[in-house]
Amino acid sequence: MASLRFYTVEMSSTTPCLCPCPSSPISLSLSSRRSHLFLNTTNKRLDSSRNCRTLRISCSSSSTVTDQTQQSSFNDAEMKLIDALIGIQGRGKSASPKQLNDVESAVKVLEGLEGIPNPTDSELIEGRWQLMFTTRPGTASPIQRTFTGVDVFTVFQDVYLKTTNNDPRVSNIVKFSDFIGELKVEAVASIKDGKRVLFRFDRAAFDIKFLPFKVPYPVPFRLLGDEAKGWLDTTYLSPSGNLRISRGNKGTTFVLQKETVPRQKLLATISQDKGVAEAIDEFLAKNSNSAEDDDGYELLEGSWQMIWSSQMFTDSWLENAANGLMGRQIIEKDGRIKFEVNILPAFRFSMKGRFLKSGDSTYELKMNDSAIIGGPFGYPLELTNILDLQILYTDEKMRISRGFDNIIFVHIREM
Which pLDDT value is given to residue 10?
A: 32
Which tops the pLDDT comparison, 343 or 196? 196
Which pLDDT value is given to residue 256?
A: 97
What's the chain's average pLDDT?
A: 79
Q: List, in order of start, the domains of the chain with CATH numbers.
A: 76-260 (2.40.128), 263-287+296-413 (2.40.128.280)
Q: Which of 42-46, 163-167, 184-188 has the lowest mean pLDDT?
A: 42-46
The pLDDT tens digits for 42-65 are: 333 323 333 333 333 333 333 333
Which pLDDT value is given to residue 319?
A: 82
Q: CB–CB of 259/69 below 8 Å?
A: yes
Which pLDDT value is given to residue 272?
A: 85
The pLDDT tens digits for 58-111 are: 333 333 333 334 445 899 999 999 999 998 888 888 888 999 999 999 999 999
Residue 197 to residue 403: CA distance in whole angstroms: 51
Which pLDDT value is given to residue 19?
A: 36
Which pLDDT value is given to residue 223?
A: 84
Burial class (CB in 10 A: 0-12, 13-18, 19+), 165: exposed
Residue 308 to residue 128: CA distance in whole angstroms: 29
Q: How far, in Å, are 12, 280, 347, 355, 372 from residue 380 at the CA level?
A: 20, 37, 13, 21, 6
Q: How far, in Å, are 33, 115, 124, 180, 374 from residue 237 at the CA level?
A: 52, 5, 8, 32, 50
Which tops the pLDDT comparison, 130 or 48? 130
